[in-house]
Amino acid sequence: MPGPVPRPTHGLRGYHYRYSQKAFGICALFAVGSGAAFYFLIQKPRSDRFAHFYATADPYKMLEKICEKNAFDSCPQKLAEARGLK
C-alpha cells in the first residue's frame, strides 16, 4: 500500500487570499485617489466660487438690473405706479 500523498509545494496555496488582498488594496487606493481628485478638482473650486459670490454680491444692484429689464412684476417702481402713489 502506498504512503501518504505529499502536499503540493507550488505557489497556488493561498492564491485566492493573496489576490483578494492585492485587489482590495488597489481598490482602496483608487477610491482614496478618486475622492481626493473630486474634492480638489471639483468641490473646492466650486465652494470657493460660491463663497466669493456671496461675499461680493449686492442684492440691491441685482434687483435694480432686474427691474430695468422689466423682468420682475414686484419692483418697487411698478408697485408704486400700480397703486397710484407715483
In a domain, 7, yes or no: no
Alpha-carbon gap, residue 57 to 61, rounded angstroms: 8
In whole angstroms, what is the distance from residue 73 CA to residue 64 CA?
12
CA gap 17, 74 in Å, rounded: 69
The number of distinct structural domains making up the chain is 1
Domain membership of residue 75 as a residue range: 15-83
User: Is residue 71 situated within a structural domain?
Assistant: yes
CA distance linking residue 28 with residue 6, whole number of Å: 38
pTM exceeds 0.85, yes or no: no
Per residue in 53-85, pLDDT tens? 999 999 889 888 888 888 877 787 777 777 776
Mind listing the pLDDT tens digit for each residue in 10-54? 777 788 999 999 999 999 999 999 999 999 999 999 999 999 999
Whether 1 is covered by a domain: the verdict is no
Kindly tell me if the per-residue pLDDT of 86 is higher than 60.
no
> Distance between CA atoms of 79 and 77, rounded to whole angstroms?
5
